[in-house]
Amino acid sequence: MPFQPRSQSSPVNKNFEKKRMSEEYYVEKGLAANPPSDTRIQECVWHFLKNFPGLDVAEIEVDVRDSNLTLLGTFPDEQMQGRVVHGLRGVQGVRHVRDRTRILKKQEVIIPKSES
């Protein structure tokens, strides 16, 4: 019988996703006994964002609560948005990435807030 790759909706992949969001995953990774603090996760996230090629971090806001990351702001295109969100899921200690960003349209211009 020829090799057939598993589909994205296979029971194995679904079980992995459930396990990844459970405590078992963090015990196996050694994070349950000493999970990174939200402050430490936020530092790692900012390090990732600052070193991401072509990304203007001035347009991004990050909030971490209970190891859940919320990302706000704008991206120049969908490809960069997808790559950043995917990469942030790999930051140690991040359980979930909530993407609240949007794509900057070409005709949009961001006007900085005036300090008055």
Is pTM beyond 0.95 here?
A: no
Contact 43, 71 (CB under 8 A): no
CATH of region 36-103, choose from 1.10.260.40, 3.40.710.10, 2.40.10.10, 3.30.300.130: 3.30.300.130
The amino acid occupying position 57 is: V
User: What is the Cα–Cα distance from 85 to 101, expressed in whole angstroms?
Assistant: 10
Q: What average pLDDT does this structure show over 79-104?
A: 94
| pLDDT value of residue 20 | 55
pLDDT at 64 over 80: yes
Contacts of 104 (CB under 8 A, 6+ apart): 59, 74, 75, 76, 110
**pLDDT > 70 fraction of the chain, expressed in percent and rounded:** 62
| pLDDT value of residue 39 | 95
> Band of the pLDDT at 4, cuts 50, 70, 90?
very low
Question: SS3 of 48, please?
Answer: helix
Contacts of 36 (CB under 8 A, 6+ apart): 44, 67, 92, 93
> Band of the pLDDT at 105, cuts 50, 70, 90?
confident
Q: Note the pLDDT tens digit of each residue in 43-63.
A: 999 999 999 999 999 999 999
User: What is the Cα–Cα distance from 13 to 23, expressed in whole angstroms?
Assistant: 17
Residue ranges of the domains in the chain? 36-103
Contact 15, 24 (CB under 8 A): no
DSSP 8-state assignment for residue 82: H
- Angle formed at CA 22 by CA 93 and CA 99, multiple of 5 degrees: 55
